[in-house]
Structures are given as C-alpha cells and as structure tokens.
C-alpha cells in the first residue's frame, strides 16, 4: 500500500500526465515542422495519391456501370448512323466478366474508404485496394481484347458482319475509360504503399476535413447523375447512356440542346433535379478551391521559400555587399566592422522578408502557368479527340476547337453536337476533368491577372471619374514621383529588390544610437498601454519602495494587452495573414525574452514553459554595450553558419532570420507564433507569482519614464538625466547580480 497522501499522489499523477502530454505535443509539432520544410515529393504519395484514388475510384465505377447496363455492339442499317443502330446482345461471358470487374472495384473502393476512416488497418486494406483496382482494370482490358480480337467483333449475324454494318456502342468506350482509371488508381496506391513501407511517412492517411469532404461530394455527384439519368430515361424513353450524357450536360450547365425533356413529367422533374445537381457541383468546386488554397498553396509556398532561402545564403557577394535572392534580384547589406549585431539582424530580417515575397511571387506565376497549361491542353487535346470521333460529320480541327471552347465556358450554343458513340462518353469524362481544371485556373487568376485589372481599374477611377480624397492632381503627382524616383520592378524572379535608405542602416551607426532608437520605439509602444488607474498603482508601488513589483505588474499588464491585440490581428487577417515589420518584431521579441535560467523550468511541474521563451539569438539586448561594435562574423557571409561569436550574449550562437528555425519559416503564421509566445510568457509570469518568486521582467517602468516623462509623467520631469541613468544602471546591475546568483 502506498504511503503517499492521496491528494498529493493525484497532483503528482496530473503533473506527470501534463509532462508526458507536453512532450507528445512538442514531438508532434517538431514532426509537423520537419514535414513542412522537407521536400514535397513524398507528399504526393502520402496525401495526393490517396485523395485521387478516393475521388476517381467512384467515377470509374460509374463508368463501369454504364459499360455493364448496355450492350457493346450495334447493327447499323444501310443509310443510318451508329447512334440509331440496333443493339446486338452481348455473350454471357462478356457480361459476367464485366460484372466481376465492377464487384472487384466496389470492394477496392470500400476498403480504401474504410482505411481512410480508420476502420481497417493500413496493412490489410491497402493490399485489397490495390489488388481490387488492378484486377478490375485487367478484367475489363481482357474483356475488350477478346471482343476486338475478331474483325467482326464476334458478331454472328450475317447482315451485321460487314464493317460498314456494325459499330461499337458508347458502353464499350465507357469500359475503356473505366479500365484506364482502375489501373491508374491501383498504380498510385502502389506508390503510396511503397513509400509507407520504406518509412518515408506513416502508414496512415493524414487527410483533412476538406479532402474527405471532396471525396464524399464526388461520390454523391456520380450517384446523383446516374440515378437521375435512370429516371429520365424511363420518363422520356431515352437510351440510358444518352440520358447519362444529357444529365452531365445539364448539371454542368453546358446545355447543348440536342436532348431536352419533352413530357410534362420530365420538365417538372427537371426543376428539382437541375437545382440539386448544380448545388452539388458548386459544393465540389468550393471544396476543390478550398483544397488548393488550404494545402496546395501552403505546401508549395513553403517549398519555394525554403529553396529560395537556401539559394540566397549560398549567393553572397562580399565585395559588392549584396545577396542574390532571385535571377535578377539582389538585396544590399553591410559587412562593415563597426556594424552592430542588432543592425545585422535587421538586415537579415529584410533579406528574409524579401525572400518570402520573391517565393510568393514565383508561386503565384508558377501556379498560373501550370493551371493555364493544363486548361490549354484540355481545350486543344479535347478538340483533337473530337475531330477524330466526329469524322463522319467532317469536323475540322477549328470546328472542334470552337465546340470545345463553348463547352468549357458553358456557353453551349448547340450549333455543333456530338453524333458518335465514342464522342459522348469522352465528353462526359472530359467535362468532369474540366471542373477542377477551370476552378484552379480561375483561383490562380484571382491572385495575379484579376489583381492587376483591379488595381488598374482603381487607378483609372482615381484619375478620372472617382478621384480620392486628395484629388486627381495629388494622384497624378504621386504617380509621376513614383515613376521618376524609383526603378521599375518586374514580377516574379525579375523583381529588383529596393534599396533601403534608413539612417539606422548606415554602416557607421553606433550601437548606442541603435539601442536608443529601440528604446524610443519601445516607449512609444508601451505608452499606448498606460491608463490612469495603472499609473496610480505603479506610482503607489514606487512610493512603497517596491520598484520590482511595479515593473512586474506593468509587464503582466502589457503582456495581456498585447495578447489581445495580436488575437485581433489573427481574427481579422482573413485569407491573408498579417506580416509584421521589423519594429514590431523587435518589440514583441523584447516582451518574450527574459534572460537565462536553466533551473527555472523545474519549478513548473507539468509545463514545458522555460524562463527564456525565445532563443537567445532572438532576444533584444537590454544593455547599452560597446561590445556590439566589435568585429563579429557576418551571418550572411558565413552562410548562416552555427559558429557565431560566443561573446555575443544577446543574439546567441546558432540562430539567424535566414535559418530554417526562423519564425518566418514555419507552419505557423506570424500572428500565431507571436501569440503563442506571448501567452506562454504570461503563463510563466503568473506561475512565478503563484510560487511567490519574483524576477526582473524584460521591460521596466523606468525605461518608459526616461522617454515619456515630460509628456505622460509630468510629475517626474523634475528628475535629471543623470539620475535616470543612475537608476537604470542600478537596475541593470541588480539584474546581473540576480542572474549570477541563479547560476550559482
């Protein structure tokens, strides 16, 4: 029997559970960060291929159903066309093989979905999925090969044996498409299993809710289309495959007009059928757009930023004092021996921010080029196929281009229609592929072409009929000034990085001047948090002689206010996360850092909140020291090496804004990163108060008084500058003594 008090024992268990939970969360975050920055070639196998399999599998099964319910051969009487041919019954073995293929594919689809829902283990489900899809595809190929191996398609009726008197029906071509998709799907899942077995990723599908939603919506659309075609084929007396073609043209709003309901019942059923189908198509389009923006954009941006960053740190010209961040884009930096480290960090930040912008531009134009290329191939390649399928109508390639264009844009004049058994099945497949292709293209155009047109329209309106508040003259003067005083900057990799002209970036700026400007900016930010009641409380604490308690109280108050401000930035960011300036980062990093104390983490059972939330290298030095002016290795010239000077106690040894550990190179947005660190800092301080421990915060009320005593604290303005400096020096020495005691 345990001798530990039950209440204490419960507390220890909770603390141990908290520690284990924090360790798991840290491991998961680390794995996510590594996955975010690693090459993306295996992301396709782990996420994209299963998503394609789950989406295309039901479409292939729908085509397989079309191939099963209708005969594959027709008799074409003299003078008639193949679409009006008389059906020739298929042999029993062909129907049996076709049915087995469909059953095999349905089992594979079900196994894949159960595995994605984590109802069946990966090691059991995937062999079934791969074997089922490949077996279904091979069976259909054998079925078609056995039929077309005979010159007469194994037709035994003498009147139909001549080549001009028989043809293949649309069902045969649906079988071709189904078999091709089956084999492709099984091959993709084979690559997925190969990567999982070799340890490139876990044997588990990490699909998001939007990805699962897209799969379910695709299956719903295929089911809705096939069932609607069945109903209208009975009501209107159409052949089932013609009804499938009509349903596809209707739900995708192409409306060619070659088929239309003629009965009152059919026209009445069209109302709910059309609106329901269009809603499903809209949901599918929305899911595709969300998927592209959610995962594809994020993943591609991360990869391109990482490559751009690696290229930048490897292309430093020390003679010209430039760093190459693009094909024709450079950023200047200073390697002057007297350049303070704080100033060098600012230059690194500017370079990294420029790298981000360049990578984002490259992603936009690459995505636009890729999606436009796919759309063009779909248009021109589809036209080539339609030229071949409609050769009996003597379509030229230009006629097919015209038909494809009007169909892709859902114009559908109906002056050209498909009359071949091969053209209609291909149109169904082609139109389904056009939905995601055009959706992605329009989404990518919104980031580039539409943005240019919008900006141009706003500018034309400002100088013509809709002038701004400053008037047309001010707008024209601003444009003229921008054209005469700035260089042209092209898009993408051809952009020329601007030259930053700031007194603080001058090579011979002293560390004292840098620190003084930092303190001034810090005071301006802190002054926004001052209120009368807070001021009275801190003045009361000062009168009691407890200046440390005053600073702690002020620090906790500022942390809580800044958490709320960053939370607003996070909520109001919309689809474009906020990017903070260097001054903002200086301010927030100053609030987060709080000196080194390795033993302090032991005082927080169940929490992984160290005393120093920010790496040493990210913390802003609170001291005015001439050591900053000493010669130190340039992180850009050293290619972001991990061998920085150990004398730099402010910035640390192994951190750089251009390193993979930079806050600008993670899975979190800048607002998320800052909010997490500020919240952890506030929690750390509250834990200290709970334990009765007091530690000097990274900001003090004395620093604020030094800069704003004449504007806000008018009663304190009588104190001399020497007194304020002596007070600040005493505060710093006290912090140093406190740190030495903690080290002992």
The per-residue pLDDT for range 397-421, each reduced to its tens digit, is: 999 999 999 999 999 898 999 999 9
- Give alpha helix (H) positions in 121-169: 122-148
Task: List the domains of the chain with CATH numbers.
Answer: 41-207 (1.20.140.150), 545-594+660-713 (no CATH)
Q: Identify whether the C-beta of residue 106 lies closer than 8 Å to the C-beta of residue 137.
A: no
pLDDT surpassing 60 at residue 646 = no
Q: Write the DSSP symbol of residue 47.
A: I
Residue 34 is predicted with a pLDDT of: 53
Please, what's the largest Cα pairwise distance for the chain? 118
d(CA 423, CA 163) in angstroms, rounded, equals 19
Q: For residue 663, what pLDDT band results from cuts at 50, 70 and 90?
A: confident
- Range with lowest mean pLDDT among 36-45, 77-86, 139-148: 36-45
Angstrom distance (rounded) from CA 416 to CA 256? 8
pLDDT of 610 higher than 50: no
Q: How far apart are CA 729 and CA 735, in angstroms?
A: 10
pLDDT at 38: 52
The runs of H, that is alpha helices, within 38-91 are 41-43, 49-68
Place 136 in a pLDDT band, splitting at 50, 70 and 90: very high
Per-residue pLDDT, averaged over 234-243, amounts to 94
- What is the spatial distance between Cα 567 and Cα 309, in angstroms, rounded to a whole number? 29
Indicate if the pLDDT at residue 609 is higher than 60: no
Q: Which has the higher per-residue pLDDT, 517 or 579?
A: 579
- Predicted confidence at residue 454, as pLDDT, reads 81
- pLDDT given for residue 442 in this prediction: 86
Find the range with the poorest average confidence among 177-191, 481-495, 625-639, 695-709: 625-639
Query: Could you tell me which residues come within 8 angstroms of residue 632 by beta carbon, excluding any fewer than 6 positions away?
Result: 341, 644, 645, 647, 648
- Rounded to the nearest integer, the mean pLDDT of the chain is 76
Across 486-501, average pLDDT: 42
Q: Flag whether pLDDT at 453 surpasses 90.
A: no
Residue 640 has pLDDT above 70, yes or no: no
pLDDT at 259: 92
* Position 670 confidence tier, pLDDT thresholds 50, 70, 90: confident
pLDDT tens by residue, 527-564? 666 655 555 665 666 666 677 887 888 888 888 888 98
Where is pLDDT greater, at 617 or 57? 57
Do the beta carbons of residue 633 and residue 641 sit within 8 Å?
A: yes
Does the pLDDT value for residue 330 go beyond 60?
yes
What pLDDT shows up at residue 513?
67
What pLDDT is stored for residue 427 in this prediction? 96
**Predicted structure pTM score:** 0.74
Average pLDDT on 497-520 reads 55
- Taking only the tens place, the pLDDT of each residue in 78-104 is 878 888 888 899 999 999 999 999 999
Residue 625 clears pLDDT 60, i.e. is over it: no
State percent of the chain over pLDDT 70: 68
Residue predicted with more confidence, 119 or 11: 119
DSSP string, 716-728: GTTS-HHHHHHHH
Q: What is the pLDDT of residues 357-379, one digit of tens each?
A: 888 888 888 888 989 999 999 99
pLDDT of residue 5: 44
Higher pLDDT, 704 or 679: 679
> CA end-to-end span of the chain, whole Å?
40
Q: Environment class of residue 396 by beta-carbon count within 10 Å: exposed (0-12), middle (13-18) or buried (19+)?
A: exposed
pLDDT band at 742 (very low <50, low <70, confident <90, very high): very low
């Amino acid at each position: 029997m345990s001798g530990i008090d039950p209440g204490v024992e419960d507390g220890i268990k909770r603390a141990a559970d908290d520690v284990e939970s924090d360790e798991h969360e840290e491991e998961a975050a680390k794995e996510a960060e590594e996955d975010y920055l690693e090459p993306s070639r295996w992301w396709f196998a782990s996420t994209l291929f299963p998503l394609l399999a789950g989406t295309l599998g039901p479409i292939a099964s729908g085509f397989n159903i079309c191939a099963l319910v209708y005969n594959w051969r027709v008799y074409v009487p003299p003078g008639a066309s193949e679409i009006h041919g008389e059906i020739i019954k298929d042999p029993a073995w062909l129907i049996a093989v076709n049915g087995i293929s469909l059953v095999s594919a349905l089992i594979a689809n079900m196994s894949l979905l159960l595995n994605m829902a984590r109802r069946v283990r990966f090691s059991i489900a995937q062999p079934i999925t791969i074997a089922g899809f490949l077996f279904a595809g091979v069976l259909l190929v054998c079925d078609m090969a056995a039929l077309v191996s005979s010159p007469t398609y194994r037709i035994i009726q003498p009147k139909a044996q001549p080549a001009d008197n028989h043809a293949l029906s649309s069902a045969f071509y649906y079988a071709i498409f189904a078999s091709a998709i089956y084999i492709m799907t099984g091959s993709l899942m084979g690559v997925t299993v190969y990567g999982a077995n070799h340890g490139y990723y876990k044997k588990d599908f990490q699909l998001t809710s939007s990805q699962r939603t897209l799969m379910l919506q695709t299956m719903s659309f295929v089911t809705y289309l096939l069932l609607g075609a069945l109903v209208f084929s009975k009501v209107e007396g159409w052949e089932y495959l013609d009804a499938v073609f009509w349903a596809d043209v209707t739900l995708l709003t192409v409306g060619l007009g070659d088929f239309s309901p003629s009965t009152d019942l059919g026209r009445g059923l069209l109302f709910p059928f059309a609106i329901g189908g269009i809603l499903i198509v809209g949901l599918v389009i929305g899911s595709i757009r969300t998927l592209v923006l959610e995962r594809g954009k994020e993943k591609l941006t991360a990869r391109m930023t990482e490559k751009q960053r690696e290229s930048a740190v490897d292309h430093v010209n020390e003679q010209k004092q430039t760093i190459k961040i693009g094909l024709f884009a450079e950023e200047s930096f200073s390697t002057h021996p007297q350049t303070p480290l704080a100033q060098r960090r600012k230059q690194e930040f500017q370079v990294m921010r420029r790298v981000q912008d360049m990578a984002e531009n490259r992603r936009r134009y690459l995505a636009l080029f890729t999606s436009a290329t796919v759309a063009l191939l779909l248009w021109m390649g589809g036209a080539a196929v339609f030229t071949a399928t409609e050769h009996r109508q003597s379509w030229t390639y230009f006629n097919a281009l015209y038909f494809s264009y009007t169909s892709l844009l859902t114009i559908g004049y109906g002056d050209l229609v498909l009359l071949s058994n091969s053209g209609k099945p291909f149109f169904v497949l082609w139109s389904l592929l056009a939905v995601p292709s055009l959706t992605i293209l329009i989404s990518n155009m919104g980031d580039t072409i539409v943005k240019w047109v919008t900006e141009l329209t706003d500018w034309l309106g400002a100088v013509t009929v809709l002038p701004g508040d400053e008037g047309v003259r001010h707008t024209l003067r601003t444009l003229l000034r921008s054209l005469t005083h700035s260089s042209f900057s092209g898009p993408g990799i051809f952009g020329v990085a601007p030259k930053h002209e700031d007194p603080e970036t001058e090579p011979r700026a002293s560390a004292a001047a840098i620190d003084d400007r930092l303190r001034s900016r810090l005071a301006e930010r802190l002054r926004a948090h001052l209120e009368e009641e807070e001021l009275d409380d801190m003045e009361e604490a000062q009168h009691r002689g407890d200046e440390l308690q005053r600073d702690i109280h002020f620090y906790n108050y500022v942390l809580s206010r800044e958490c709320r401000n960053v939370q607003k930035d996070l909520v109001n960011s919309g689809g474009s996360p906020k990017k903070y300036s260097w001054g903002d980062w200086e301010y927030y990093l100053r609030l987060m850092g709080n000196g080194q104390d390795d033993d302090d983490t032991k005082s927080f059972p169940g929490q992984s909140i160290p005393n120093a939330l920010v790496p040493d290298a990210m913390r802003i030095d609170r001291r005015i020291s001439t050591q900053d002016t000493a010669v130190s290795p340039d992180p850009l010239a050293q290619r972001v090496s991990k061998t920085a000077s150990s004398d730099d106690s402010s910035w640390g040894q192994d951190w750089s804004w251009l390193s993979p550990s930079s806050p600008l190179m993670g899975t979190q947005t800048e607002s998320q990163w800052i909010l997490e660190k500020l919240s952890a800092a506030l929690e750390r301080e509250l834990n200290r108060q709970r334990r009765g421990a007091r530690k000097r915060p990274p900001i003090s009320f004395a620093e604020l008084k030094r800069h704003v005593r004449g504007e806000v604290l008018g009663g304190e303005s009588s104190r001399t500058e020497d007194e304020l400096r002596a007070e600040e020096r005493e505060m710093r020495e006290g912090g140093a003594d406190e740190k030495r005691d903690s080290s002992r």
